[in-house]
Amino acid sequence: MSAVRTLCATAVIAVVGLGCGLWMVITAGEERLIKNLPESNPVRMEEAKKRMALVMQAMKEAAATDDNIAKGYGGSEK
């Protein structure tokens, strides 16, 4: 019984260790995450600013009207 318990405990520890090791290998490193941020590239930063300005403009227009603007964007017709 003790040998089975030891074998099971060793297997569990090995599986957990393998999972942690794979997780560390697969997840992106901090340098790669920072490199892919929009703020790191001036062109992408400008695109993000323009996109955010368009979104804010659409939200302001939607807030100013009583119409349901989502109705015209391909919703299901009843």
Task: Please list the rounded mean pLDDT of every run of 10 residues in the chain (78 residues).
Answer: 92 96 82 76 87 94 81 59
The answer to the question of residue 76 being in a domain is no
pLDDT score recorded for residue 12: 97
**What's the pLDDT at 57?**
94
62 and 56 in contact (C-beta within 8 Å)? Answer: no
Residue at 73 is within a domain: no
Count of the separate structural domains present in the chain: 2
Q: Look up the pTM and report it.
A: 0.45
Q: In this structure, are 23 and 43 located in the same domain?
A: no
pLDDT at 13: 97
Q: What is the extent of the structural domain holding 6?
A: 1-35
